[in-house]
Structure formats: structure tokens, C-alpha cells
Amino acid sequence: MAIADRLRALFGRQSQPKTVISVHRERQVAVCSILFFLLLGLPLWWSTTRVYRAELPTSDIVRFTPEQTLPVPVVFYIDAKTPLSQADATFIETSVKAQVDSQRPQFTASEWHIRYQTAVRVGVAPDTPGHYTLRLRMGSDIPSVDVTPARSAIVSVPHAAQAKDVLVKTISAIVADEERSVRDLAPQASKAIGNTHAVLKYAPEYAVTLTLLNENPVDGAAVDWDIKQAVRMYLQPLVDELRPFTRLSVSSQVLHHAGPPPVTAHKADNGTYLTSDMLPHFVNSPSWNFASVDPTSPMLNFVLFVPALASQPMHILDSGIERSSAFL
């Protein structure tokens, strides 16, 4: 009976008419509940469900300088009738480094950090890329520099006392100019058209194939090349320099009776020519065998195409004015 009395009392209380005070109290409870949810529940929900985004250290990123730069070693040999001492060579090397560093424009965040590392030796340079000979001569009226073949130049000075200063200025100017030229290639490569530069996606290894294509080896048009010596003298130094960043495996081949390209060159009085819109269709990949010995690595094909005698010489006509014989 106790339970029935309680239920009867509960339903009897609910059936009682509401007063103004009870309605006002219910409104206060509803408002307090909503405020409690907004002030406490909503921030709690936001903090527990939002995606965490860490702040980037922008100032540290701007000041960041990669530890690994791309050093380009350049060695200058000083050949003088009165030999310089090793202390003089060290002084010239240190002075050149300080002068080049002080004049080098600051690297941007997305730029390759290319630095020429200059070394100065006494004697005559070997016949290898990156080694140059400066022949020092005395008795001229004014200091002068005459560039000669075979990676050498003649530096003339009035007196021996001026030799070191003139050599420092000469070497610094050569190194700064070369470094500036290499750095200027980067922005040009991103907007290059067709036959100047190309940007390649990075890979830890590339398969480089050098191909000599002979279209029609008849009527005495047989050709050959000394590719081993060319690779050793001109390409191997670059391969060695890029080894800390990527590996280049180099192979070569000679293909005779390669057949004509898919497009027909235009006839001219002194040979044939290709226009810029024909270049994307020039390479006949289905007929020309460009198979690599390393099928897993990205391929870089460099092709030397020898046209038939009837089409020689063949040129590329750029913008209707400039002629060239190579494109990328």
C-alpha cells in the first residue's frame, strides 16, 4: 500500500495546476541549463574534438641553412718563372675565399647552396676538368689577363710586388662570375622552353643512356664515336660531384639503320630544318631502341642523331631566326 500511496501522491501532484511561481522557477532552471551547456559544455566539446595544429617555427625556418651544400672544387695553378712559395699560395687562396664570400649574394630559401671552393697550387695544372693554370709574367706596363686555350691564362704584372694582389683579384673575379652563372640557371630552369633547360623530378638513382643513332649508314655515311674518353673527361666529374645526392649509372649504345623520325624535316637551300612545334614528335621511341640496362631507375636518354646524307645538315629553327642543333 505504501507504493500505491506514493504513486497516487506523485500523480496527484502533477495534476495540480501550475502557479506563476512554479512556471517562473521552471524557466529559471531551463535558462540555467542552457547557460551551463554554452559556458562549460561547448568549450569542453571544442577542446576535445578539434584537430590539433602545431604552430610552425617560421623564424627558425627562415634562418635555416642546410648543412650540406653543393661544393664545386676549382684548383688554380700558378706557373711563374720565379716560383711562388707555398706560403704565398696559401695567402692567395685565403684572400680569394674571403673576397668571394663577402661578395656572394645571400641564398634564398628555395635556392641550391652552390659554393665554389678555390684551391691555389704552385706549378702547372694537369689536363683535368676543374684545374686551371695562370702563367705569371713580369715587365708589362699595366696588369692584364690574356685567356689562352687549354684551361690557362697569362697574367702580366709590372712588378713582382703586385703579383699577389693581381692574382687575388683575377681568381676572385673568375670564381665569382662562374658561381653567379651557375646560380642564375635555377630560376631559368623553372620557366625554360624546349631547348634550353629542363627540370627533373628527384630520384636517388638515374639510368643515363647515351645513344648514337645513324638513320641510314649508306653511301659512306658510317659514323662512330669515342664515347668512353668523352664520358671520362666531361661527364664523369659531374657524376662524381653529384654522388652525395644521387647515383648516375652511365651506359652507351650505337644504333645503325635507325630509320627516319616520325616527322619530315623541311627542305632548305643548305640542308633541312625542324621547327619548334615538330620537336615533341621528333623522337621515334617505338622504332628507336632506348631500352636501359637498369629498368628500375628513371631513364635519361641523350641521343646523337645522324640524319641521312640527303637531309644533312639538319638544324632547329627557333622563332624563325635562331638556329641550333640540340634540344631537351
Q: Is the pLDDT of residue 320 over 70?
A: no
Residue of 198, 178, 172 lying closest to 186 (CA atoms) = 198
C-alpha distances (whole Å) from 147 to each of 133, 150, 156, 182 are 10, 9, 11, 21
Alpha carbons 262 and 78: distance in angstroms, whole number: 54
Alpha carbons 135 and 154: distance in angstroms, whole number: 5
> Which neighbouring-strand residues pair with 75?
119, 131
Q: Is the pLDDT of residue 95 over 90?
A: yes
Residue whose grid cell is 690574356:
146
Q: Give the CA count within 13 Å in the CB-facing half-sphere of 3.
A: 0
Alpha carbons 213 and 310: distance in angstroms, whole number: 16
Q: Is the pTM of this model over 0.75?
A: no
Q: Is the pLDDT of residue 74 over 90?
A: no
Tens digits of per-residue pLDDT, 108-135?
766 777 788 888 988 888 877 678 888 8
Q: Which cell numbers in the block locate residue 237?
A: 666529374
Residue whose grid cell is 651544400:
69
Q: Which of 23-27, 155-159, 257-261, 288-292 has the highest mean predicted lDDT (pLDDT)? A: 155-159
Residue whose grid cell is 638513320:
215
C-alpha distances (whole Å) from 302 to each of 212, 250, 251, 258, 288 are 9, 11, 10, 15, 13
Largest CA distance in the chain: 134
Which of residues 170 and 326 earns the better pLDDT score?
A: 170
Alpha carbons 25 and 83: distance in angstroms, whole number: 108
Q: Is the pLDDT of residue 324 over 80?
A: no
Tens digits of per-residue pLDDT, 31-67?
888 888 778 877 888 888 878 788 888 887 777 655 5
**What is the mean predicted confidence (pLDDT) over 93-115?**
83
Tens digits of per-residue pLDDT, 170-186?
899 888 888 888 777 65
Q: Which of 177-186, 206-215, 317-326 has the highest mean predicted lDDT (pLDDT)? A: 206-215
> What are the start-end ranges of the E strands in the chain?
70-80, 114-122, 131-138, 144-148, 152-157, 205-214, 247-256, 266-268, 271-275, 299-306, 314-318, 322-324
Per-residue confidence band for 13, with pLDDT thresholds at 50, 70 and 90: low
Alpha carbons 163 and 49: distance in angstroms, whole number: 74
Q: Is the pLDDT of residue 1 over 80?
A: no
Please enumerate in sequence order all residues whose Cβ is within 8 A of that of 172, keeping only pairs 6 or more positions apart, or say none.
95, 96, 99, 100, 103
